[in-house]
Amino acid sequence: MSDPTARPWRSPRRRSPGVLSTAAAALALWLLCLCSGCAADTDFGGIWHGIAPTQGPANDLLYGPNGEPLALELVLGEYGPDLAGLLRFYKQGSFVRARDANPPDSECACSLLYGGRSAGGVAAFALRGCLPGAATKVEVRTRATLSRDDLGVLQLKLVVDEPTSAHHAKAVVVTLLPQASASEVSDADLLCPVGPTAGNPASGQ
């Protein structure tokens, strides 16, 4: 006679192979990143280098005295969602030869960043001062955004945000490549060098 209180037998539940394979793949990817030091899309700290394009339809904002390409160096520190740092401008030739031996020779050589924040894989900050090229002789407010393209390459977009200026809404996009991690930034990297002229008002020099 069967026991009426006994529970009916059920076959063990099998987990979906798709769920298991997905979890295993995620674990493998996490371990790979842990071992190889993968950089997240939200990592902006460190030193970044880029070259603004030659003056033309794609760039009517940043360029050298004769319209030649201009070199940029962005130094960023991350403090939670807050960003701090500076943006330097160099003539392309001297920048490539030796940065420290050939400091910027423009009154727009260097600007401190302010209001820097990052969220959702995008960072934003502002600059206040002149810019080599279109706004060499005037002080303008510039908004900047950092984001990565489909290939994961960092893009810096600068847009003049000065409604009363003739340069309002002028913009340029510069591709940035990593040069040093946040832990490799030295004290010298955090200084705004100035040339023989008065210096950028935004640099405090």
Q: Under a CB-based contact definition with an 8 Å cutoff, are residues 82 and 116 in contact?
A: yes
Helical (H) or strand (E) element with 89: strand 82-91
User: What pLDDT shows up at residue 67?
Assistant: 85
User: What pLDDT shows up at residue 42?
Assistant: 60
Prediction pTM value: 0.70
Q: Which domains does the chain have, with CATH numbers?
A: 46-203 (2.40.128)
User: What pLDDT shows up at residue 107?
Assistant: 61
For residue 42, give the nearest of 127, 181, 148, 115 by alpha carbon: 148
Residues of the chain with pLDDT under 70: 1-42, 93-107, 193-205
∠73-190-145 over CA atoms, to 5°? 45
User: What pLDDT shows up at residue 163?
Assistant: 93
User: What pLDDT shows up at residue 108?
Assistant: 77
User: What pLDDT shows up at residue 66?
Assistant: 82
For residue 129, give the nearest of 117, 115, 145, 142 by alpha carbon: 142
At residue 110, what are phi and psi to the nearest 5 degrees? -155, 140
User: What pLDDT shows up at residue 144?
Assistant: 97
